[in-house]
Amino acid sequence: MGRIIWRKCGAALVLGAVVRLAAAQAALPNQPAPQAWTWEQVKDRLELNNPTLLAGKLNISEMQADEITAHLRPNPNLGLLSDQIAPINLGPEHGPFAYLLPSATVSYLYERAHKRELRTESAKKGTAIAVSQQDDLERGLLFNLRSAFVQTLQAKAVLQVSKDNLEYYDRVLKISSDRYQAGDIAQIDLDRLELQRVQYESDVQTAIVNLRTAKIQMLMLLNDRTPVEQFDLVGVFDFNDQVDALDAYRQIALDNRPDLKAAIQAVDKAHTDYKLAVANGSTDPTFSVDVGRKSSDRFLLWRGRGVSAAHF
């Protein structure tokens, strides 16, 4: 008898909590309808707002700037010199600049063995590798986004099924209550059915939590601060039984995988870098010319300093 009374009290407490929860939710102010996004809208949002993709695009711009730097020619050097200045008069009377000898030196480094062309080629291939790596990064993020998108649709479907189950079970409880009033079932049987409703209510709450978690993962990938209650997804959540052969999928991967393309490009760039390393071992001459003016004789003095060689 005591066990029956305890079960009655437990069922009453559970039903009372459910009623209070429903009343509290009904008392909340009306919130705006959530914005439903399709897969194409979510994909565009990822490309616009994801910080990882934006950082990769900045890296590509930096690599393109390195191409310009690698193609630059060496700058000519200009040196100015003033010689034979006598601020202290020790001999015959003369001014401090009487024997001034100004001169200018122009020098230029000439790069041999196509160093500049090889540097430019290496920089361009580095940019191509960065583009392929960016495509691979976008591919991975799109895969994660698609998985989160499908998980969100799945969570919505599970939530709807849980609500349908709870609604159907409420009808069962209504019929069972009518049977109890008619004396067809005992009170303990009705209490058991009412306690079983808690499991269906728990399934609904678990589905709500899973749906919020999936939405939060979507918003994190999109770098979006929209409240979860105002965010929703729409799309077809269905199974496609079309299956291709394994060789077809392997060929698609070989043709479209950007990480494989980046690996091939890295091997090609390594050959160019090897040629550049060999070219850097060659000697680069520096040509220079001196121009001076001797004020006492009033003529220009040209003096070629010849050629000096250096390794770069």
Which of 97-101, 230-234, 275-279 shows the lowest mean pLDDT across its residues? 97-101
At 236, is the pLDDT very low, low, confident or very high (cuts 50, 70, 90)?
confident
Euclidean distance between CA atoms 285 and 307, whole angstroms: 6
Q: Which pLDDT value is given to residue 131?
A: 94
> Which carries the bigger pLDDT value, residue 21 or residue 253?
253
| Average pLDDT score over residue span 170-174 | 91
Q: What percentage of residues in the chain have a pLDDT greater than 70?
A: 79
**What digits encode the pLDDT tens for the residues 14-42?**
444 443 544 444 444 455 566 788 989 99
Nearest CA among 138, 130, 141 for reference residue 60:
130
Burial class (CB in 10 A: 0-12, 13-18, 19+), 195: middle
Indicate whether this model's pTM tops 0.75.
no
Reading phi first (left if > 0) and then psi (alpha if -120 to 50, else beta), residue 110 is in beta
pLDDT at 135 over 70: yes
pLDDT of amino acid 294 = 65
Residues 204/159, Cβ–Cβ less than 8 Å = yes
Exposure letters 57-66 (e unless 16+ CB within 10 A, then b): eebeeebeeb
Backbone φ and ψ of 304, nearest 5°? -85, 125
* Percent of the chain scoring above 90 in pLDDT: 40
CA dist., res. 41 & res. 53, Å (int): 17
Residues 6+ apart with CB under 8 A from 195: 7, 10, 11, 14
- Residue 107 is predicted with a pLDDT of 92
Confidence of residue 11 (pLDDT cuts 50, 70, 90): very low
| pLDDT score for 247 | 85
Strand partners, 22: none
* Torsional class of 226: left (φ above 0), alpha (ψ -120 to 50), beta (otherwise): beta
Q: Within its chain, how far is the Cα of 248 from the centroid? A: 30
**Pairwise pLDDT comparison (120 vs 9), residue with the higher score:** 120
Say if CB 177 and CB 193 are below 8 A apart: no
